[in-house]
Amino acid sequence: MAIAPDDITTFTREVDENLRRDQVRDAARAYGKWAIVGVILLLAAIGGFLFWRDQQAKQAATDSEVMSATIDNIGSGNLTPVPGQLDTLEQANSDAISVSAKLTKAAVALQSNDRPQAIAIYKAVAADTGIDPPWRDLATIRQTALEFDALQPQAVIVRLAPLTRPGNPWFGRAGEMTALALLKAGRKSEAGRLFAALASDRGVPDTIRDRAMQIAGTLGVDASAALSPITTAPAP
């Protein structure tokens, strides 16, 4: 008895479906346990990440509130709770908040006439390679400013050398202290050239440029032209 083409197609489809069903069943028996474990681990990882992100957001909000309260207390002169608040903020996950707390603690120490503590804090921040360079540079500038009178001129020059370059954000402060150190070391010609460079750099604060021009003049370097107003050619 001949089998109609439609019956052959139906039979083939049924065999194919049964084969696939058997393959799925065998795979489930062989790998089902590990597949389930993998799904559970994936869901746990996603859930853990979402929880961590939520906790991070909550902690950041809390840290910001503490920082705001700390600033308010310092501004109002209520320094009693400030040390404890700053200790808490130093442990923040955010480097910006943590380092800001350390620098604020140094400022509070200065306000309380505790220069040694302020210097120690700035020194620690400047030496911490885990902190971003801008924070370390700021700490270096403040540490050096506090220690300037007690340091040998060459120590100032060497410490500030990386920052005493035109274009560096701290060129003004670092350059001025370096030029003064050069004067203390008797290197007047070098000091005069550096003061002239400060006077001619329009990225340097005006107060520093004014002083630099005056001191350069006393050293025989004419830097007055550097402070002339900038003029632009009229548009054609």
User: How do the domains of the chain map onto residue ranges?
Assistant: 80-150, 153-227
For residue 49, pLDDT over 90 is answered with no
Local confidence band at 101 (pLDDT 50, 70, 90 cut-offs): confident
- Which string of DSSP letters, residue by residue, matches the chain? -PPPHHHHHHHHHHHHHHHHHHHHHHHHHHHHHHHHHHHHHHHHHHHHHHHHHHHHHHHHHHHHHHHHHHHHHHHHT--TTHHHHHHHHHT-S-HHHHHHHHHHHHHHHHHTT-HHHHHHHHHHHHH-TTS-HHHHHHHHHHHHHHHGGGS-HHHHHHHHTTT-STTSTTHHHHHHHHHHHHHHTT-HHHHHHHHHHHHH-TTS-HHHHHHHHHHHHHTT---GGGGSPP--PPP-
Least confident of 4-18, 54-68, 72-86: 4-18
Give the residue with greater pLDDT, 89 vs 54: 89
Please give the mean pLDDT across all residues of the chain.
Answer: 74
Question: What digits encode the pLDDT tens for the residues 103-155?
Answer: 888 888 887 889 999 999 999 999 999 888 988 999 999 999 999 999 999 99
pLDDT number for residue 73: 60
Question: What digits encode the pLDDT tens for the residues 160-204?
Answer: 999 999 899 999 999 999 999 999 999 999 999 999 999 999 999
